[in-house]
Amino acid sequence: MEGFLVWLSRRHFNLQALLAAAVAANGLVAAHAQTPAARAPSTGPAASAQAVRGVILVVGDSLSAEYGLRRSSGWVSLLQKKLDAERPGNTVVNASISGDTTSGGRSRLPALLKQHQPALVVIELGGNDALRGLALQHTRDNLTHMTRAAKAAGARVLLLGMDMPPNYGTQYAKDFRDLFPQVAKAEGTALVPFLLAGVADAPDAMKWFQADRIHPNEQAQPLMLANVWPTLANMVR
Protein backbone atom coordinates (compact mmCIF):
# COMPACT_ATOMS: atom_id res chain seq x y z
CA MET A 1 0.00 0.00 0.00
CA GLU A 2 1.31 3.38 -0.94
CA GLY A 3 1.92 4.70 2.53
CA PHE A 4 -0.70 3.59 4.99
CA LEU A 5 -0.46 6.34 7.58
CA VAL A 6 -3.03 5.07 10.06
CA TRP A 7 -2.57 6.49 13.49
CA LEU A 8 1.18 7.00 13.19
CA SER A 9 0.61 10.75 13.27
CA ARG A 10 -0.59 10.31 16.84
CA ARG A 11 2.90 9.11 17.67
CA HIS A 12 4.29 12.54 16.66
CA PHE A 13 5.78 11.56 13.31
CA ASN A 14 6.12 14.17 10.57
CA LEU A 15 3.24 13.68 8.13
CA GLN A 16 5.04 15.13 5.12
CA ALA A 17 8.03 12.89 5.72
CA LEU A 18 5.77 9.86 5.80
CA LEU A 19 4.11 10.90 2.56
CA ALA A 20 7.48 11.36 0.88
CA ALA A 21 8.63 7.96 2.05
CA ALA A 22 5.44 6.40 0.76
CA VAL A 23 5.84 7.92 -2.69
CA ALA A 24 9.46 6.76 -2.82
CA ALA A 25 8.50 3.26 -1.77
CA ASN A 26 5.84 3.09 -4.45
CA GLY A 27 8.39 3.89 -7.12
CA LEU A 28 10.70 1.11 -5.99
CA VAL A 29 8.27 -1.78 -5.87
CA ALA A 30 7.24 -3.83 -8.91
CA ALA A 31 4.26 -6.10 -9.19
CA HIS A 32 4.64 -9.70 -8.20
CA ALA A 33 2.31 -12.69 -8.00
CA GLN A 34 2.72 -15.81 -5.91
CA THR A 35 0.81 -19.02 -5.35
CA PRO A 36 1.81 -21.15 -2.72
CA ALA A 37 -9.84 -12.24 14.90
CA ALA A 38 -11.75 -10.08 12.57
CA ARG A 39 -12.92 -7.08 14.65
CA ALA A 40 -16.49 -7.77 13.53
CA PRO A 41 -16.80 -10.84 11.32
CA SER A 42 -19.59 -10.45 8.80
CA THR A 43 -22.88 -12.21 9.19
CA GLY A 44 -25.95 -12.68 7.04
CA PRO A 45 -26.36 -14.16 3.56
CA ALA A 46 -22.79 -13.45 2.40
CA ALA A 47 -21.26 -15.16 5.40
CA SER A 48 -23.67 -18.07 5.61
CA ALA A 49 -23.77 -19.05 1.93
CA GLN A 50 -22.46 -22.46 0.97
CA ALA A 51 -18.69 -22.66 1.35
CA VAL A 52 -16.54 -23.09 -1.75
CA ARG A 53 -13.24 -24.75 -2.58
CA GLY A 54 -10.75 -23.83 -5.27
CA VAL A 55 -8.71 -20.77 -6.16
CA ILE A 56 -8.72 -17.80 -3.77
CA LEU A 57 -7.67 -14.68 -5.65
CA VAL A 58 -6.28 -11.80 -3.56
CA VAL A 59 -6.28 -8.41 -5.31
CA GLY A 60 -4.58 -5.84 -3.10
CA ASP A 61 -1.81 -3.30 -2.62
CA SER A 62 1.44 -3.38 -0.63
CA LEU A 63 -0.33 -4.57 2.51
CA SER A 64 -0.85 -7.86 0.70
CA ALA A 65 2.13 -7.77 -1.70
CA GLU A 66 4.82 -8.48 0.94
CA TYR A 67 6.40 -5.05 0.59
CA GLY A 68 9.65 -4.98 2.59
CA LEU A 69 9.16 -8.53 3.86
CA ARG A 70 10.90 -11.82 3.31
CA ARG A 71 9.22 -13.77 0.55
CA SER A 72 6.47 -16.04 1.86
CA SER A 73 6.23 -14.21 5.20
CA GLY A 74 3.27 -11.95 4.37
CA TRP A 75 -0.26 -12.58 5.56
CA VAL A 76 -1.35 -13.94 2.16
CA SER A 77 1.42 -16.55 2.22
CA LEU A 78 0.49 -17.41 5.79
CA LEU A 79 -3.08 -17.83 4.60
CA GLN A 80 -1.98 -20.49 2.12
CA LYS A 81 -0.17 -22.38 4.87
CA LYS A 82 -3.23 -22.23 7.11
CA LEU A 83 -5.48 -23.41 4.31
CA ASP A 84 -3.13 -26.31 3.58
CA ALA A 85 -3.44 -27.35 7.21
CA GLU A 86 -7.14 -26.70 7.79
CA ARG A 87 -8.84 -26.43 4.38
CA PRO A 88 -6.77 -28.51 1.94
CA GLY A 89 -7.62 -28.20 -1.73
CA ASN A 90 -7.63 -24.39 -1.78
CA THR A 91 -4.95 -22.47 -3.66
CA VAL A 92 -4.18 -18.79 -3.05
CA VAL A 93 -3.17 -16.60 -5.98
CA ASN A 94 -1.70 -13.31 -4.78
CA ALA A 95 -2.28 -10.71 -7.48
CA SER A 96 -1.45 -7.75 -5.23
CA ILE A 97 0.67 -4.85 -6.45
CA SER A 98 2.31 -2.25 -4.21
CA GLY A 99 0.88 1.19 -4.83
CA ASP A 100 -2.24 -0.11 -6.56
CA THR A 101 -5.54 1.74 -6.41
CA THR A 102 -9.11 0.59 -6.91
CA SER A 103 -8.85 1.83 -10.51
CA GLY A 104 -5.83 -0.40 -11.05
CA GLY A 105 -7.58 -3.35 -9.49
CA ARG A 106 -10.67 -2.75 -11.57
CA SER A 107 -8.67 -2.69 -14.80
CA ARG A 108 -6.71 -5.85 -13.90
CA LEU A 109 -9.58 -7.92 -12.56
CA PRO A 110 -11.21 -9.16 -15.79
CA ALA A 111 -8.00 -10.81 -17.00
CA LEU A 112 -7.35 -12.28 -13.54
CA LEU A 113 -10.85 -13.74 -13.37
CA LYS A 114 -10.47 -15.28 -16.81
CA GLN A 115 -7.01 -16.69 -16.05
CA HIS A 116 -7.59 -18.10 -12.57
CA GLN A 117 -11.36 -18.72 -12.45
CA PRO A 118 -11.43 -18.18 -8.67
CA ALA A 119 -14.02 -19.51 -6.30
CA LEU A 120 -13.36 -16.58 -3.94
CA VAL A 121 -12.02 -13.08 -4.59
CA VAL A 122 -10.51 -11.09 -1.70
CA ILE A 123 -10.36 -7.35 -2.44
CA GLU A 124 -7.88 -5.32 -0.37
CA LEU A 125 -7.78 -1.92 -2.06
CA GLY A 126 -8.76 1.67 -1.33
CA GLY A 127 -6.06 3.07 0.94
CA ASN A 128 -4.03 4.50 -1.93
CA ASP A 129 -7.14 6.16 -3.34
CA ALA A 130 -7.48 8.12 -0.11
CA LEU A 131 -3.78 8.98 0.01
CA ARG A 132 -4.05 10.44 -3.49
CA GLY A 133 -7.12 12.44 -2.56
CA LEU A 134 -9.46 10.65 -4.93
CA ALA A 135 -13.17 11.17 -4.47
CA LEU A 136 -14.80 8.60 -2.20
CA GLN A 137 -17.48 7.99 -4.80
CA HIS A 138 -14.72 6.99 -7.21
CA THR A 139 -13.48 4.38 -4.73
CA ARG A 140 -16.99 3.18 -4.01
CA ASP A 141 -17.81 2.79 -7.70
CA ASN A 142 -14.64 0.81 -8.37
CA LEU A 143 -15.15 -1.52 -5.43
CA THR A 144 -18.75 -2.05 -6.49
CA HIS A 145 -17.70 -2.78 -10.07
CA MET A 146 -15.03 -5.26 -8.94
CA THR A 147 -17.47 -7.00 -6.61
CA ARG A 148 -20.09 -7.37 -9.32
CA ALA A 149 -17.53 -8.58 -11.87
CA ALA A 150 -16.28 -11.25 -9.47
CA LYS A 151 -19.81 -12.41 -8.67
CA ALA A 152 -20.71 -12.49 -12.36
CA ALA A 153 -17.72 -14.80 -12.86
CA GLY A 154 -19.14 -17.16 -10.24
CA ALA A 155 -16.90 -16.15 -7.33
CA ARG A 156 -17.77 -15.18 -3.80
CA VAL A 157 -16.30 -11.89 -2.57
CA LEU A 158 -14.62 -10.79 0.65
CA LEU A 159 -13.91 -7.08 1.11
CA LEU A 160 -11.12 -6.02 3.48
CA GLY A 161 -11.84 -2.62 4.98
CA MET A 162 -9.38 0.13 5.80
CA ASP A 163 -9.22 3.22 8.01
CA MET A 164 -7.52 6.57 7.46
CA PRO A 165 -5.76 8.67 10.11
CA PRO A 166 -7.46 11.71 11.67
CA ASN A 167 -5.16 14.04 9.70
CA TYR A 168 -7.54 13.64 6.79
CA GLY A 169 -10.38 15.13 8.80
CA THR A 170 -12.86 13.40 11.05
CA GLN A 171 -15.67 13.37 8.51
CA TYR A 172 -13.49 12.13 5.66
CA ALA A 173 -12.05 9.35 7.81
CA LYS A 174 -15.55 8.29 8.87
CA ASP A 175 -16.92 8.38 5.32
CA PHE A 176 -13.94 6.39 4.05
CA ARG A 177 -14.29 3.77 6.78
CA ASP A 178 -18.04 3.49 6.16
CA LEU A 179 -17.84 2.94 2.41
CA PHE A 180 -16.54 -0.63 2.81
CA PRO A 181 -19.50 -1.91 4.86
CA GLN A 182 -21.83 0.06 2.61
CA VAL A 183 -20.52 -1.69 -0.50
CA ALA A 184 -20.54 -5.07 1.24
CA LYS A 185 -24.14 -4.62 2.37
CA ALA A 186 -25.36 -3.35 -0.99
CA GLU A 187 -23.69 -6.20 -2.87
CA GLY A 188 -24.32 -8.96 -0.34
CA THR A 189 -20.65 -9.77 0.20
CA ALA A 190 -18.61 -10.65 3.25
CA LEU A 191 -16.53 -8.02 5.04
CA VAL A 192 -13.57 -7.68 7.38
CA PRO A 193 -14.03 -4.10 8.66
CA PHE A 194 -10.34 -3.29 9.26
CA LEU A 195 -7.41 -5.38 8.03
CA LEU A 196 -5.00 -3.70 10.45
CA ALA A 197 -7.10 -4.00 13.59
CA GLY A 198 -4.82 -4.63 16.55
CA VAL A 199 -1.85 -3.37 14.53
CA ALA A 200 -2.32 0.25 13.46
CA ASP A 201 -4.66 1.06 16.34
CA ALA A 202 -2.66 -0.74 19.03
CA PRO A 203 -1.22 1.29 21.94
CA ASP A 204 2.21 0.04 20.92
CA ALA A 205 1.54 0.46 17.18
CA MET A 206 5.12 1.28 16.22
CA LYS A 207 6.36 -2.19 17.17
CA TRP A 208 4.27 -3.61 14.35
CA PHE A 209 5.72 -1.41 11.59
CA GLN A 210 8.83 -1.47 9.44
CA ALA A 211 11.51 1.19 9.72
CA ASP A 212 9.65 3.33 7.18
CA ARG A 213 6.89 3.67 9.80
CA ILE A 214 4.38 2.95 7.06
CA HIS A 215 4.26 -0.74 6.23
CA PRO A 216 3.49 -3.52 8.75
CA ASN A 217 6.49 -5.66 9.61
CA GLU A 218 6.81 -9.43 9.56
CA GLN A 219 5.64 -9.74 13.17
CA ALA A 220 2.37 -8.02 12.25
CA GLN A 221 1.47 -10.46 9.48
CA PRO A 222 -0.02 -13.18 11.72
CA LEU A 223 -2.23 -10.53 13.33
CA MET A 224 -3.45 -9.42 9.91
CA LEU A 225 -4.23 -13.02 9.00
CA ALA A 226 -6.04 -13.43 12.33
CA ASN A 227 -8.30 -10.53 11.32
CA VAL A 228 -9.15 -12.16 7.99
CA TRP A 229 -9.34 -15.83 8.92
CA PRO A 230 -12.58 -16.04 10.94
CA THR A 231 -14.62 -14.62 8.07
CA LEU A 232 -12.72 -16.33 5.27
CA ALA A 233 -12.83 -19.70 7.02
CA ASN A 234 -16.63 -19.62 6.85
CA MET A 235 -16.43 -19.08 3.10
CA VAL A 236 -14.20 -22.02 2.13
CA ARG A 237 -14.37 -25.75 2.77
Which entry of 42, 61, 62, 64 is annotated as an active-site residue?
Answer: 62
pLDDT of amino acid 34: 39
Task: Please tell me the distance from the alpha carbon of residue 202 to that of residue 172, in angstroms, as a whole number.
Answer: 21
pLDDT of amino acid 70: 97
pLDDT of amino acid 1: 52
Average pLDDT for runs of 10 along the chain of length 237: 44 36 38 38 52 98 98 98 98 98 98 98 97 95 98 98 86 95 98 97 95 95 98 98
User: How remote is the C-alpha of 192 from its chain's centroid?
Assistant: 9
Whether 212 is a known active-site residue: answer: yes
* 102-111: long-range contacts, CB 8 A cutoff, minimum separation 24: 102/126, 102/129, 102/138, 102/139, 102/142, 102/143, 102/146, 103/129, 103/138, 103/142, 105/59, 105/60, 105/142, 105/146, 106/142, 106/145, 106/146, 106/149, 108/59, 109/59, 109/146, 109/149, 109/150, 110/149
Residues pairing with 156 in the sheet: 120
Positive or negative: CA dihedral 126, 52, 222, 32: negative
pLDDT of amino acid 120: 98
Whether 42 is a known active-site residue: answer: no
| Residue 143 φ/ψ, nearest 5 degrees | -65, -40
pLDDT of amino acid 224: 98
pLDDT of amino acid 208: 98
Task: Tell me the CB-side half-sphere exposure of residue 176, using CA atoms within 13 A.
Answer: 24
pLDDT of amino acid 40: 43
pLDDT of amino acid 105: 98
Domains parsed from the chain with CATH numbers: 8-233 (3.40.50.1110)
User: How remote is the C-alpha of 94 from its chain's centroid?
Assistant: 11
Which entry of 175, 178, 201, 212 is annotated as an active-site residue?
Answer: 212
In this structure, how many other beta carbons lie within 10 angstroms of the beta carbon of residue 121? 28
Task: Please tell me the distance from the alpha carbon of residue 141 to that of residue 186, in angstroms, as a whole number.
Answer: 12
Whether 32 is a known active-site residue: answer: no
Task: Please tell me the distance from the alpha carbon of residue 123 to that of residue 64, in angstroms, as a whole number.
Answer: 10
Which entry of 64, 100, 103, 215 is annotated as an active-site residue?
Answer: 215
Cα-Cα end-to-end distance for the chain: 30
